[in-house]
Structure 1
Amino acid sequence: MKKLQFLVDQTKYAKAHSSHSHDNAQTYVTALLSEQLVQHGFHTQTTNPHELEVSVSDHPIALGVNCNQPDGEGHFVCEIRAHADEEQDWFQKIETQSVIKQLAQAVEQTLREDESFQSLEWKS
């Protein structure tokens, strides 16, 4: 699982997204990723306001992106995970890791392009 932590600059967020309240920043992040990941070749489906199911053509492993706000200081964490079978063969594991890396790069690029988000940092 990969985790990307970032801050939401509430001032910039409020100016850029006046139709969204502070409480809806989490929903906004999910909607933004849902729209933008398609441009990176991923198919997305929103399962709830905080979680995306992500798939790639011709890749059997389901992926997910779950974004939440674990503290009240504006920090968000997006977790990228694979719903892989533990008995996956070696080549499938390598392919899955490659797809996860591509998805992580797409998530990071999408969030960096929005000025409301800052201090993006990968956590282990």
Structure 2
Amino acid sequence: MRKLQFTANCEKHNHVSQQSNDCHVTQEYVADLLSKELGQYGFQTLSQSGDQVAVSVDNQSLPLSVTCQSHEAEGRLVCEITSYPDEEQDWLDRITEQSLLNQLAQAVENTLKEDESFSGFEWKG
């Protein structure tokens, strides 16, 4: 699992909805942005639910997902890239999956850095 923590200017996304929870709107904005933009890095996104984006490569579903949640007390958003490896995977499949996890992490960071309302990127764990 990899975690990308960053600052989101939640007020910039509140035009999407008049809800009082601007950061929830931002979470949905990030999920939607990733769904649209990860394709330019070779990843296909599968149907998503809320703030989670499932990912596939070359029409092969991968046990990878991206979930973004806010830590409103800190004013930060954390996108967590999670891998669900098969316990019976052979070592070559694990290496391949780890490589894809790293590529996906880089793609997520690059996609978010293109949006000026996000800043202060830092990898955790």
**TM over 0.5: same fold?**
yes
- Structure 2's unaligned 5+ residue stretches are none
Shift of 1:110: 0.4
In structure 1, the residue matched to 2:16 is 19
Shift of 1:72: 3.1
CA contact (8 A) 2:10 2:26 kept: no
2:32 is equivalent to residue 31 of structure 1: yes
CA contact (8 A) 1:63 1:83 kept: yes
TM-score (norm 2): 0.86
In structure 1, the residue matched to 2:114 is 113
Identical columns (%): 45
- 1:18 alignment partner, SS class: helix
- Structure 1's unaligned 5+ residue stretches are none
Q: Residue by residue, what CA displacement relative to the aligned partner does 1:79-117 show, whole Å, maximum 9, x if unpaired?
A: 111121122111111110100011000000000000000
- 2:72 alignment partner, SS class: coil
Displaced runs of 4 or more, over 6 A: none
CA contact (8 A) 2:55 2:61 kept: no
Let me know the Cα RMSD of the aligned residues.
1.8
- 2:48 alignment partner, SS class: strand
Amino acid at match of 1:3: K
TM-score (norm 1): 0.87
